[in-house]
Amino acid sequence: MTWVYIPCGKERAYTCLESLPASFDRDPDVYIEKVFKADIDQSTIGLIDPVHVPFVHTSSWWKKTNPQDFKIEQRDFEPSQRGFTLKKHVITNSGKPYKLLGEPVETEIRFELPSLRLEIIQGTRHAACSLTVLAPIDQQTTRVHQCLYWSPPWLLPLKPILKALGDTFLDQDRVIVEQQQEGIAHNPVLTLVEGADTQAKWYLRIKREMERCQSEGIPFANPLTPASLEWMS
């Protein structure tokens, strides 16, 4: 995909984001596209929510999670150019597909505005990468692009199956985001709690600061600082 940004008026053009690692700088092994019936903010928040996985992604081929097994997860974050990065860490209780890469499996997740999420997954034998980009169609609809990459060559014959599984995975996100719109339509006061919803708060904070800098014609500076977050998962 090629992204072109055209600044408006006094607005400053931004430098290009660093995206894919060099080993995955090629066409994706699998490409999936979905349309979410939700605005760009709600679609983005739904995808960066760190605690939705055990409740939304419940397919038998992924993993089954018993809420009684939940424990406190602590993760370290640092600010990036226009977003934040979940620093590299070992995945505990990872999904079944991750185990194909060789355990232990480490992951690093980068999020950059406007709405780009990059997950780099490294096992002891192989690596994989997931690039998700969201683009608004209108004020109530968002197109979600997902590109999946992997290093094991023996997975190539399984592309049709893996594409179907990936489609199911992303559609589970779509369903839950669209269900949330039924309540949001009544304009409730949204409650964002510390830890589980902090990344959503960061996204909205960075967006507000970026809009302010654009309107004033001044350089953008990321307002975030390094932080450690906790949530139950």
- The answer to whether position 13 is within a domain reads no
- pLDDT band at residue 62 using 50, 70 and 90 as cut-offs: confident
Residue 6 has pLDDT above 80, yes or no: no
Nearest 5°: CA angle at 17, between 14 and 23?
Answer: 160
CA atoms lying within 13 Å on the CB side of residue 8: 5
- The answer to whether position 18 is within a domain reads no
145-175 pLDDT, tens digit per residue, is: 999 999 999 999 999 999 999 999 999 999 9
Among residues 223, 218, 231, the alpha carbon closest in space to that of 204 is found at: 223
Average pLDDT over residues 8-22: 64
The burial of 19, by beta-carbon neighbours within 10 Å (0-12 exposed, 13-18 middle, 19 or more buried), is given as middle
- The answer to whether position 12 is within a domain reads no
In this predicted structure, what is the pLDDT of residue 10? 58
Average pLDDT over residues 189-207: 88
Domain with residue 52: its CATH number is 3.90.380.10
201-216 pLDDT, tens digit per residue, is: 999 999 999 999 989 9
- pLDDT band at residue 11 using 50, 70 and 90 as cut-offs: low
21-41 pLDDT, tens digit per residue, is: 888 989 999 999 999 999 999
Q: Domain range holding 214?
A: 24-232
pTM of the model: 0.89
Given the DSSP bridges, would you call strands 83-90 and 72-79 parallel, antiparallel or unpaired? antiparallel
Dihedral of CA 131/136/140/145: which sign?
negative
- The answer to whether position 11 is within a domain reads no
Structurally, the chain folds into a number of domains equal to: 1
